[in-house]
């Protein structure tokens, strides 16, 4: 099997540095990570050999650095702490910061750039989805995973039956968030501001692209690393 035959998810988990290449080529490695690398390249109209060369260069540089502190290599409890501290905190803060900025820019420039109204609708949908989503993870799913990590034997049956049930819901909500992000990227032409953009307009699009990048890594760590670990733990305990 060559790297082109592996799924994007497998590559991202095995070699965390690869996500930088996937981001450069706009290859979905979180929700769409089940595709082979060759299929993922075709989906974004990129030559697979070009991506493979970039991946090889990044992976060789990562191997030479000898770094082994990737979040993909953490235990379940450590990974939950990492996700909460790095990604949930960042997402919460940015949603609070970007909301008034989105309103300001849309109110000022929306008449000349009507795509901003569509952007605001999609952003509000994303915000309304992410806030309760993270709360469910923080108060229900993550504590149960930590409980399983510390268990010496079978754990009491949770009210949701199997951990697979809330995981299935979280992954469904991840898919919805990913779809909204793609719509926002399309509406904004890849978060490119027009020539008459003011500093606030530029700051908004920069912030939205940073939020998108962080959410991709956030979802990757949950879908591709934490959730499979939790399912495996539950199966072992049972």
Domain closes at, from 21, 44, 65: 65
Do 126 and 230 reside in the same domain of the chain? Answer: yes
Do 84 and 15 reside in the same domain of the chain? Answer: no
Q: Is the pLDDT of residue 68 over 60?
A: no
Q: Identify the residue with better confidence: 96 or 34.
A: 96
Do 116 and 229 reside in the same domain of the chain? Answer: yes
Q: Do the Cβ atoms of 197 and 189 come closer than 8 Å?
A: no
Q: Do the Cβ atoms of 215 and 181 come closer than 8 Å?
A: yes
Q: Which pLDDT score, from 0 to 100, does residue 156 have?
A: 67
Count the domains in the chain.
Answer: 2
Confidence of residue 70 (pLDDT cuts 50, 70, 90): confident
Confidence of residue 38 (pLDDT cuts 50, 70, 90): very high
Do 15 and 114 reside in the same domain of the chain? Answer: no
How distant, in Å, are the alpha carbons of 19, 112, 132, 143 from that of 204? 24, 17, 23, 34
Phi first, then psi: what are they for 36, rounded to 5°?
-65, 160
Do 59 and 114 reside in the same domain of the chain? Answer: no
Q: What is the largest CA-CA distance in the chain?
A: 63
What average pLDDT score do residues 4-18 get? 89
Per-residue pLDDT of 103-137, as tens digits, reads 999 999 999 999 999 999 999 999 999 999 999 99
Q: Identify the residue with better confidence: 3 or 153.
A: 3
**Does residue 123 sit within a domain?**
yes
Do 142 and 94 reside in the same domain of the chain? Answer: yes
Q: Do the Cβ atoms of 3 and 51 come closer than 8 Å?
A: no
Do 31 and 121 reside in the same domain of the chain? Answer: no
Q: How many CB atoms lie within 10 A of CB 21?
A: 22
Domain closes at, from 65, 90, 113: 65
**Does residue 3 sit within a domain?**
no
Confidence of residue 30 (pLDDT cuts 50, 70, 90): confident
Q: Could you tell me which of 200, 205, 204 has the C-alpha nearest to residue 190? A: 205
Q: Is the pLDDT of residue 1 over 70?
A: yes
Do 82 and 152 reside in the same domain of the chain? Answer: yes
Q: Which pLDDT score, from 0 to 100, does residue 181 have?
A: 95
Q: Domain limits at 110?
A: 74-237
Q: Give the separation between CA 25 and CA 28, rounded to whole angstroms.
A: 9
Q: Do the Cβ atoms of 180 and 125 come closer than 8 Å?
A: yes
**Does residue 2 sit within a domain?**
no
Do 79 and 132 reside in the same domain of the chain? Answer: yes
């Amino acid at each position: 099997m060559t790297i082109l035959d592996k799924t994007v998810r497998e590559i991202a988990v095995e070699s965390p540095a690869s996500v930088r290449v996937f981001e450069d080529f706009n290859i979905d490695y979180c929700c769409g990570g089940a595709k082979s690398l060759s299929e993922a390249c075709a989906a974004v109209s990129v030559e697979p050999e070009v991506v493979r060369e970039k991946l090889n260069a990044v992976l060789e540089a990562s191997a030479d650095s000898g770094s082994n502190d990737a979040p993909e290599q953490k235990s379940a409890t450590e990974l939950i702490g990492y996700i909460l501290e790095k990604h949930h905190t960042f997402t919460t803060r940015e949603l609070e910061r970007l909301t008034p900025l989105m309103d300001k820019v849309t109110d000022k420039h929306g008449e000349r750039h009507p795509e901003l109204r569509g952007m605001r609708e999609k952003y509000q949908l994303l915000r309304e989805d992410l806030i309760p989503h993270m709360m469910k993870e923080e108060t229900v799913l993550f504590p149960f995973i930590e409980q399983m990590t510390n268990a010496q034997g079978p754990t009491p049956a949770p009210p949701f039956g199997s951990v697979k049930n809330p995981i299935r819901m979280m992954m469904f909500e991840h898919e919805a968030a990913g779809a909204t992000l793609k719509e926002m990227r399309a509406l904004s032409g890849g978060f490119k501001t027009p020539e008459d953009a003011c500093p606030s307009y530029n700051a908004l699009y920069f912030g939205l692209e940073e939020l998108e990048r962080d959410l991709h890594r956030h979802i990757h760590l949950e879908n591709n690393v934490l959730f499979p670990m939790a399912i495996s733990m539950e199966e072992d305990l049972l």
